[in-house]
Amino acid sequence: MNKYTLSIKDLSSKEMQYNTQQKRMPLPEYGRSIQNMVDYALTIQDRAERQRCANTIINIMGNMFPHLRDVPDFKHKLWDHLAIMADFKLDIKYPYEIIREENLGTKPDSIPYPSTKMRYRHYGRTLEVLIKKACEFPEGDEKRNLVALICNHMKKDYMAWNKDTVDDRKIAEDLDELSGGKLRMDDDIIRLMAERLAQNYRPKVNYNNNRNNNQRRKY
């Protein structure tokens, strides 16, 4: 344990004060003790001694989060945090280019909302994209099964929005409109829709019960 650790730990008496009596901490996750250490480093006149004190603080900060040592740029982040806690007033030689004070409060660019409007919000944009992809499919079983899947989803979304039964004619009309007349919900599609629903709601067989029943019959 070096003299900087000892002298810094002497500042722990400050923690006997109520937090409301002390200044606000920029990074409270490090606790009041680390903040007191940083404040102490700011009072050191000798530059070399101040540098050694800063190195000690960084080591203590790193020991607080040993599980993060393998995180990329972990050391760099620690030096950034030291500069922030010192209000960018700690005159030392930083081993990394630290974050600039003017960039500290910079907000990330907002994510722009899609500019294109949806015709039917209850179907959602994903379904519109899926319909567009289905229009590009060549004719065949794969396309018919995809259209059946889309129609079943449209029925489910419509009922979730309307809380009522939905007529197949309504789904057929909406599909025709959303696909620009390229997709049709004909009798073959309705048959495939029913088959898919039957597969999804097929009751599960409890093989354990069947096995137990067969064993009882033997006896």
* 67-118 pLDDT, tens digit each: 777 777 888 999 999 999 999 999 999 999 988 887 776 554 444 555 556 6
Confidence of residue 21 (pLDDT cuts 50, 70, 90): low
Round to whole Å and give the CA distance between 64 and 35: 14
Determine the average pLDDT of the residues in 2-11: 49
The count of C-alpha atoms lying within 13 angstroms of the C-alpha of 166, restricted to the half-sphere facing its C-beta, is 19
Residue 131 sits at φ, ψ, to 5 deg, of -65, -40
Q: With both helix axes pointing from N to C terminus, report the angle between 124-136 and 168-178 in degrees, rounded to the nearest 10.
A: 70
Average the pLDDT over 135-150 and give the result: 89
- Cα-Cα end-to-end distance for the chain: 79
Nearest to 90 by CA among 52, 51, 48, 56: 51
Report the SS3 class of residue 15. Answer: helix
